[in-house]
Amino acid sequence: MHTLVLLLYAAAAVAYAVTFTRRDPRAGKLATALLAAAAVAHTFLIGMARMQAGYMPFVGTTAAVSFFVWLLALAYLYTELTAAERAMGVFITPLLVLLQVIPTIDATAPSARPEVLQSPLFTLHVSAVLFAYASFALACMIGVTYVLLFKEIKAKHLGFFYARLPSLQVLDTMNMRAVTVGWAFLTTGVVIGAAWALTADFRASTDPRAQAMTVMDPKILVALVSWALYSFQLFARRAMRWGARRAAWLSAIGFAVVLMNFLPIGYFLTKSHNF
C-alpha cells in the first residue's frame, strides 16, 4: 500500500511538471486528480494503521514522516482549490515523493505504544506540531517561488516564471498566511507538549527516553529554535516592516531548520523522541 501511495504521488509530480512547463489545463486537471487519489489512498493507509494499532499512527519518526506527507498533501490540495492556482504543485509534489520514500522503504507494522505515550496530550501535541510543519513546508515552497519570480522581474527578463506564477503580492499573501497558521499550530504544540511533560512526570519514569525529555534534548531544543525563528519572522514583518523578499528567505531557512529537526535529528541525535 505504501508503494501505491508513492507511485500516485510520483505520477502527480510528473503531471504537475507537465502542467507547469506546457501550461496545459488538461494536464492540470489530471495532476489535481492524481494528487487527490494519492491523498485518498494515503488516508486509507493511515486509517488501516489506526484500526490495527488502536491509536493515531505517528509513533516513531518514520510514521511521523508518513503522517506529515499526508497532511502536506491535504494542505496543498486545500490551498489549490481555494486559490484556484496549480503553480505551486510542481514545487510541493517532489517533496511529497522524496519524503514518502522513507515510509515506503522503512514500513513497519504498528506496535504497542509505550506507557508514557498513551496520554491524549501526546496525540494533540504531535498532531499540532506536524500540521505546523506542513504549513511551514507550504510557506517554504511559496517563498522559493517568490524569490525566483522577484529575480526574474528585477532582471527585467519577464519569461518562464513570470508567465506561470501568481503575482508577487499573491505569493506574499499566501506565504504569510501559511507562516501564521504554522506558527499558531507550533505554539499550540509547544504549549501542549509542556503541559504533557509537567503532568506525566517523565523524570519518575523508568524509560530512559522519557527521562531525556528536557529542553537540552536536540529535538526539543531545535523545535524551540524553529518557534523563535518564525516568531521573529512575524514580528519583523509587522513591527519592523521587513519586506516580502526577506520574509520569503526566512520561510525557506525556517523550513530547512524544521526538516533538519524532523529527519537527521529525529533519527540519529534525539534521546527523547525516538520511540
In this prediction, residue 97 carries a pLDDT of 98
Q: Has residue 209 got a pLDDT over 90?
A: no
Written as nine digits, the cell of 1 is 500500500
Mean pLDDT estimate for the chain: 91
Q: Find the length of the chain.
A: 275
In this prediction, residue 1 carries a pLDDT of 81
Averaged pLDDT, 167-188:
96
| Rounded distance between C-alpha atoms, residue 182 and residue 132, angstroms | 4
| Rounded distance between C-alpha atoms, residue 32 and residue 87, angstroms | 11
Q: Which of 164, 154, 148, 31 is nearest to 87 (CA)?
A: 164
Q: Has residue 275 got a pLDDT over 60?
A: no
Q: How confident is the model at residue 204 (pLDDT cuts 50, 70, 90)?
A: low
In this prediction, residue 26 carries a pLDDT of 92
CB 256 within 8 A of CB 193: no
CB 138 within 8 A of CB 47: no
- Let me know if 54 is exposed, middle or buried by CB neighbors in 10 A (0-12, 13-18, 19+): exposed
With vertex at residue 53, the alpha carbon angle to CA 137 and CA 1, rounded to the nearest 5 degrees, is 60
Written as nine digits, the cell of 260 is 533538519
Averaged pLDDT, 54-81:
91
Cβ contacts of residue 22 below 8 Å, gap of 6+? none
* Amino acid found at 238: R
Q: Has residue 51 got a pLDDT over 80?
A: yes
Least confident range of 41-50, 51-60, 85-94, 109-118: 109-118
**63 vs 203, more confident:** 63
Give the domain ranges of the chain.
1-113, 118-275
Averaged pLDDT, 143-162:
91
Q: How confident is the model at residue 229 (pLDDT cuts 50, 70, 90)?
A: very high
Number of CB atoms found within 10 A of residue 81's CB: 12
- Let me know if 156 is exposed, middle or buried by CB neighbors in 10 A (0-12, 13-18, 19+): exposed
Q: How confident is the model at residue 202 (pLDDT cuts 50, 70, 90)?
A: low
